[in-house]
Amino acid sequence: MSAPAAPNAPPPVFGEPTPLGLLGLAIGCAALVPIAFGWLPSDPAKVVTMMKTASWFCLLFGAGGQFLAGLMSLANKNTLGGTLLTTFSFNWVFNWYVLDEAAHGRGVDGSVMLSVDLTFLVIFLVLTYAFGFFSKLLFFFLLDIDVLYVARIARHFTAPGTGAFDALGLVVGVSTIALMLIALYISFALLVNPAAGRAVFPASGPMFKPATPPGA
């Protein structure tokens, strides 16, 4: 499910790193699920504990796992996968920062968040198209991220406490769970199928066909 190697290309330096990055992402998403749905304890001290706990999962797994996988992908000459994983890893570092600030009763600037979210949406829309040339699963994986960012951006323009604000929060929560599940499925397909010698987790072909085959 990563970009195929060109003919006569040297062997990869590392084994396929994509499962590592996606498993880290899935664990990071799992840590965010209670917060995304607003399942917060009534005790303020427990809310602080929840924020701190989630922040470290975001830093270690969401950021650390994807950063390592991204560097390995780049070393393997997989520019598309390596760029996505490495770029997204820094976003998870920021997730850690936001949660850590929230645990200390502080917030982050909304205008900067909106500007960055808009930029990320543009990036992910283009990468969604690019990954569609390799795998339907990866296409829908990126499409889910697109939906998540559209909902995040829309919340910037919606008054808190309204029904629309809560509905957009639900979209963010559902998208987070979907992202976690798709990431797990792709990881299992990449790890289990080669070991089993059969498609225990059926993969998918490309969403789009390139005008010229890669490496031609």
- Do the Cβ atoms of 26 and 184 come closer than 8 Å? yes
Residue tagged 């929560």 (tokens): 173
| pLDDT value, residue 1 | 46
| pLDDT value, residue 215 | 57
Tokens of 143: 């499409």
Residues 6+ apart with CB under 8 A from 132: 138, 139, 206, 207, 208
Query: Mean pLDDT for each 10-residue chunk of the chain (216 residues)?
Result: 53 91 97 91 93 96 97 94 94 95 92 95 96 93 96 94 93 96 96 94 89 63
Separation of alpha carbons 110 and 213, rounded Å? 44
Domain extent listing, the chain: 18-194
Of 21, 23, 72, which Cα lies nearest the Cα of 188? 23
